[in-house]
Chain A
């Protein structure tokens, strides 16, 4: 899901994000962002239905400050969600009746996840009980038996052929139809990167967006070629098969 290298490089959030020095959690012991979130809620002894989003969001961010990059994407997604909620909670409420709690979806997911955790607890007790019973340790080797005569006919084979064909994912072309090329979107992403004056060049993969599909790759590629043709950027490849590097056109930078 998170193929490293394709998504824009994400630096892990640093301790600067509202870290509480007295607050230490061992992230390895959590199975994911929801697990961590549940732990924080339990620590704070708050009601799941009425989460103090601002406080919890800050704690979540400080907790993931120590994250390794390979896990980062899953936790960062949740961090982003919490920050968005934090902002939404600060908005003035129209009236109590009309107000739709923006936390609703998060609460639903937390409850669903808690249910999974309860089942996990039940599984663990079952497995623990089962592990107290040992099967026979020595299993005699299976006897050497003459081969069983085999029956096979053409109809069986052709039925299998049909099953295989039925199971083949739709050809690529068909799947492209509902998601046409989005060269404009890709152009906007590239222009945003070019607008960042701090960097003279960047890897073209940064322009792909999160979780790129083949279509995204093609769109980005076409946009790059178009922008290069218009003289807005230079493309170059340091070595065969290496990633393309995008460089702002110096004329544009001066502009």
Chain B
């Protein structure tokens, strides 16, 4: 019953396909999508603003909760930024531990994503399966950091907890478990008949488009854009890993066309890559301190007297996160900017979502692994019935004013 009626279909902000509130308005023709409009802002919590009223240690835990899935990447980028300003030297062991947690996080995030993607296309068994094997890395993280999610491991100048021999044994066991599982799991993920039928050839983002929309992370790599902050601007232990290369679907012998399948393939391959990185780090884990040796109070006091700006970049599971701070002899930073991966990747939805079927919407949306929590930059709230909407010009002017102000201060 194809009909040529065009009507808008609202998906979200509350919809079972998205675990996060975001609103899409599609123009639908029959079962085809003719256009899309995206409305962000439902989870805007004003973190950047709150941060300006907190001290430097509190901010870590705040930024951990930008998003619970890459709850390591955001604080890491922040710590890197602060360490950049304060020129704090991070001990080698801490760098390695940071790498290990970061990769564990990537592992869990990619497994989580595969599950969610399977759920979006109704493949609940695969969902259950990936989330079931994901429990292993969560167990490992829990033992290692004290919580399954929101690890609270970072501090400025290092990490808060060491890897005990017991922990390293767990990690080794986890690695064995996954190494053994990987071949079969990747076969299920990459070769399953119905899964391929649902992911191949839809949501195409060409290399040019990926470049144009500044796609980052697996989204960019799925389109064949070899872009990976870990390699381009290495931090942590990534300096020391010579064999680290950006993943692309070419690694399984497929020319990248930038469809959902390619992005999935990139993630599945990155699972393996993460495992190798963790193994490398465990093998080469240097001895020594795990932080700069200064307690929280000391750090706060030290930063109070500093002035300057710093930037931290890190490759979160979803792509590049970038934090920018300005310090100005105060107990709080005077400026904190978060640039989250979904913020860049969100725009790639526009080419991806046109000319697909309704049934493809969830999987295509999920394919960039969106995390609107971190992408919600601004919200329009109509308090007191004020129906005003700001124009681009007005906002542009405002932001210029604001930056001038903070530069003058």
- Bound pair (A, B): no
